[in-house]
Chain A
Amino acid sequence: MHKKLILQLSTACLGMFLFGFALVPLYDVFCEITGLNGKVDLVESKKKYHAGVDETRLIKVQFIANRNENMPWKFSAQNKEVVLHPGANGQAIFYVKNTTQREMIGQAIVSVSPSASAKYFHKTQCFCFERQALKAGQEESIGVVFSIDPDIPEEITKMTLSYTFFDITDAIAER
């Protein structure tokens, strides 16, 4: 005779459980809106700017190449920095080489500093959008095409784009 109550409670528990897994995309959306801790979208953005290129200002974008602890690949930025107008497209080339004797898969994670500028940073094409598989000893030049939203606050004149390569070969094998 408590059938209705049991049904309600079990759906509530199931809902709570699923909410736990919905947290990850929710967190990304939350970071996306607030630009919290430099979390930039890992997905191609098709943002078109109304104001077009803003000739009056120049912004210097620096590039940093890092590796997570157990990632032995050689990974460095070809061009240290690029100076461009907000709205214009900028490009950065990175050199990556798999120095080990086995095929590996890497995933690049991007982060921007200062974190307030993350909201205005849009990547139209980036090697961090998909996983990079490299055979033993293989080397590649990989790049990112990006642009900066013209309505970025005035006082931000220098941004740093940091890529960190993670070794996800085992994580993929495990799944």
Chain B
Amino acid sequence: MTSISATEHHGPEKGLMRWILTTNHKDIGSMYLIFSLLMFFIGGSMALIIRMELVEPGLQVVQPEFFNQMTTMHGLIMVFGAVMPAFVGLANWMVPMMIGAPDMALPRLNNFSFWILPFAFTMMLSSLFMDGGAPNFGWTFYAPLSTTYAPPSVTFFIFAMHMAGVSSILGAINIIVTVMNMRAPAMTYMKMPLFVWTWLITAFLLIAVMPVLAGTVTMMLTDIHFGTSFFDAGGGGDPVLFQHLFWFFGHPEVYIMILPAFGIISQIVPTFSRKPLFGYPSMVYATSSIALLSFTVWAHHMFTVGLPLVGELFFMYATMLISVPTGVKVFNWVATMFRGSLTFETPMLFAIAFIVLFTIGGFSGLMLAISPADFQYHDTYFVVAHFHYVLVPGAVFSIMAATYYWLPKWTGYMYDEFLGKCHFWCSFIGLNLTFFPMHFVGLAGMPRRIPDYSLQFADFNMISSMGGFLFGFAQILFVIVIVKCVQGGKKAKAVCWEGAKGLEWSVPSPAPYHTFETPPNLPDEKYP
């Protein structure tokens, strides 16, 4: 390949243009992560407004109209703005270094798929200030509430979703091409680190499922503006068609948000147990079977919509079956820790909290899978507790664990261990205080997405709100740790953690602007 000597050794350009024109996977990874942190705080502040209103019965902070806008935007921003970009950012940073590639296969596409996001979310957030307010129909935007009865800002919401979808699809294409073509010569598929494996499978899920969301949102657009009636019963359409299409995208989407987390935990737990990951091949098989099964379970979100008996039974069985591979993964992590030599730095604390709390979320998920019982759980706070237990200690804690784990590699300095532990404990206590009482109020009969509730739910909601504020403000500690670590601190060695294995630790820290210009040869140990 003609190596233009000019690009050989010059560092990044100076000033703003570096970030706008960058094709370097490390810069783009950092931009994704900073963008996701920003969205995490915006979505988090909306969650605090929701919790402020729900502190006690009665309407004291916001009107129901605005409350519905907050719940909708909180869901959308957290799912599409905070969790997914964070995982894409971690993939951009780490996948090339883990497989020994100089950069992502399509760097300009990488830059483009990042720079779509700020514009998509500016458009989404600007709908808050429009006449009629922001979308108020829930992050699941069921028709006809989101088509015939929606505020005029629904069109901006539709285009923002299109742009976020395009960004995710392009990111997924980029990762598949990189992983399939640019692995170091000796690295066969079964020698790849598990984080790369889970991201490869997630990328396939993304490509299969994002177009369905784009299609559904386009059908909404034509329903609202061009007089079609896909989801309008009056013209021969069917609102339940919307739910089928949305959840055919929706359920693989929630697996898209958790599979990279499995990958991260499978990198961290072996490092701090100083022991190879237990059952590496079965972890890969379990991830792929989760991905395959995730396409067959979507209607467990619709058990009360009036499915025929045959449908309810089929989706109940398929959903129960998905908990088997997930269980296998949890058993593998516990087996990895068993008879290891454990130390409890911050990434490991987050990983253990992930395993424990995500499993609780998994169990409430299994209870929800039972369709007769789902008639009592559906659309109550029990469901809210379930998906927050799967998402907050699941996706968010694994992103934080990954950040603490790789921060020394990115910045070249160790983070402040004491502040890291404070951040962990505040988040851990805050999280449980917020979401565990939700199981109780949900079972006792409190429906979802209501700004005001009857008296018997009062005390648990008070505890939830207190926990919510504790968890919310604890995240400021996270920002402090990151900023301090970027500015300075104890120098980090190339291999920052004693048990760490993998190609990313063979480069010095901070990782130079261009790594693995020439493909590395693999260290000889059998497993990553």
| Chain A interface (Cβ < 8 Å from any Cβ of B) | 16, 20, 23-24, 27-28, 31, 34-39, 42, 68, 107, 109, 115-116, 164, 166-168, 171, 174-175
Contact = CB atoms under 8 A, between A and B. Distances in A.
B218 A174 contact: no
B238 A37 contact: yes
Given A20-B219, A115-B308, A171-B227, A27 B238 contact: yes
B403 interface: no
B240 A168 contact: no
Nearest to A171: B227
Given A20-B218, A20-B219, A116-B308, A171 B229 contact: yes
Contact of B236 (A16, A37, A109, A174): A109
Given A37-B238, A174-B227, A175-B227, A164 B233 contact: yes
Interface string B224-267: 00010110011111101100000000000000000000000000
Contacts of B307: 36-37
A107 B234 contact: yes
A40 to B, nearest CB: 12
Contacts of A20: 215, 218-219
A109 B230 contact: no
A115 B306 contact: yes
A130 B252 CA distance: 40
Closest 9 pairs between A and B when the two form their complex, measured CB to CB = A166-B234, A174-B227, A109-B233, A20-B215, A37-B240, A37-B306, A27-B241, A115-B308, A175-B227
B17 interface: no
B238 A171 contact: no
Contact of B230 (A24, A36, A116, A171): A24
Nearest to B227: A174
B234 A36 contact: no
Contacts of B238: 27, 31, 37, 39
Nearest to B309: A116
Contacts of A109: 233-234, 236
Nearest to B240: A37
A174 B227 CA distance: 7
Contacts of B512: none
A103 to B, nearest CB: 18
Contacts of B234: 68, 107, 109, 166-168, 171
B311 interface: yes
Given A31-B238, A36-B307, A107-B235, 6 more contacts: A20-B215, A23-B219, A109-B233, A166-B234, A171-B234, A175-B227
A35 B306 CA distance: 12
Nearest to B225: A174
A26 to B, nearest CB: 10
A12 to B, nearest CB: 12
A115 B308 CA distance: 7
Contacts of A164: 233
Contacts of A36: 307-308, 311
A39 B244 CA distance: 15
A61 B265 CA distance: 59
A59 to B, nearest CB: 19
Interface string B279-313: 00000000000000000000000000111110100
A64 to B, nearest CB: 15
A34 B240 CA distance: 15
A20 B219 CA distance: 8
A116 B308 CA distance: 7
B235 A35 contact: no
Nearest to A106: B234
A20 B212 CA distance: 10
B237 A24 contact: yes
Contacts of B230: 23-24
A19 B228 CA distance: 16
Contacts of B308: 34-37, 115-116
Contacts of A168: 234-235
B236 to A, nearest CB: 7
Given A20-B218, A34-B308, A42 B236 contact: yes
B521 to A, nearest CB: 36
Contacts of B236: 24, 28, 42, 109
A78 B211 CA distance: 48
Nearest to B237: A24
B64 to A, nearest CB: 19
Nearest to A108: B234
Contacts of A42: 236
11 contacts: A20-B215, A23-B219, A24-B230, A27-B241, A36-B307, A36-B308, A68-B233, A116-B309, A166-B234, A168-B235, A175-B227
B494 to A, nearest CB: 44
Nearest to B241: A27
A166 B237 CA distance: 12
Contacts of A28: 236
A42 to B, nearest CB: 7
A114 to B, nearest CB: 9
Nearest to A115: B308
Contacts of A167: 234
Nearest to A166: B234
A82 B230 CA distance: 33
Contacts of A23: 215, 219, 230
A15 B211 CA distance: 14
A89 B149 CA distance: 40
B215 A171 contact: no
Interface string B9-30: 0000000000000000000000
B138 to A, nearest CB: 20
B288 to A, nearest CB: 26
